[in-house]
């Protein structure tokens, strides 16, 4: 409903009783439209839900920490055989920073 503040338009002012009646009518018609829409719309999530459960289960089966790798690295550090590749680390830091910078630019 539009309100003409300057009262220069062609719409006539409604009495409070008419406004209340119109509000009731609009509410009823809106409710009917919503019911019709809700009845005709449906979503089937059963296939997606089962896929999601399968994914969640497979993720639960994956260990968070690869204990074998941790033990192997720990042993090589203790034996003094663990080599650090400074260039590889620097390259990965640069790639990470570049990706963050590009992400900030696109946001």
Domain-located, residue 82: yes
Global pTM exceeds 0.75: no
Domain-located, residue 23: no
Residues 85-96: tens digit of each pLDDT: 999 999 999 999
Report whether 49 contacts 57 (CB < 8 A): no
Domain-located, residue 8: no
> Average of pLDDT values for 7-28?
50
Nearest one of 1, 56, 63, 62 to 26, comparing CA atoms: 1
What pLDDT does 28 receive? Answer: 52
Residues 28-74: tens digit of each pLDDT: 555 555 555 556 676 666 888 888 988 998 988 888 899 999 999 99
- Expressed in angstroms, the distance from the first to the final Cα of the chain is 38
What pLDDT does 1 receive? Answer: 42
Domain hosting 74: range is 46-106
Helices (H), 4-79: 16-40, 46-61, 67-78
Domain-located, residue 50: yes
Q: How many folded domains does the chain comprise?
A: 1
Domain-located, residue 34: no
Domain-located, residue 87: yes
């Amino acid at each position: 409903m539009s309100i003409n503040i300057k009262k220069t338009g062609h719409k006539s002012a409604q009495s409070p009783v008419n406004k209340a009646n119109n509000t009731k009518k609009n509410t009823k018609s809106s409710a009917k439209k919503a019911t019709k829409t809700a009845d005709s719309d449906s979503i089937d999530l059963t296939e997606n839900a089962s896929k999601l459960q399968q994914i969640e289960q497979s993720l639960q089966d994956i260990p968070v920490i690869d204990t074998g790798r941790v033990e192997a690295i720990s042993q090589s550090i203790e034996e003094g055989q663990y080599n650090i590749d400074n260039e590889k680390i620097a390259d990965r830091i640069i790639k990470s920073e570049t990706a963050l910078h590009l992400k900030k630019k696109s946001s």
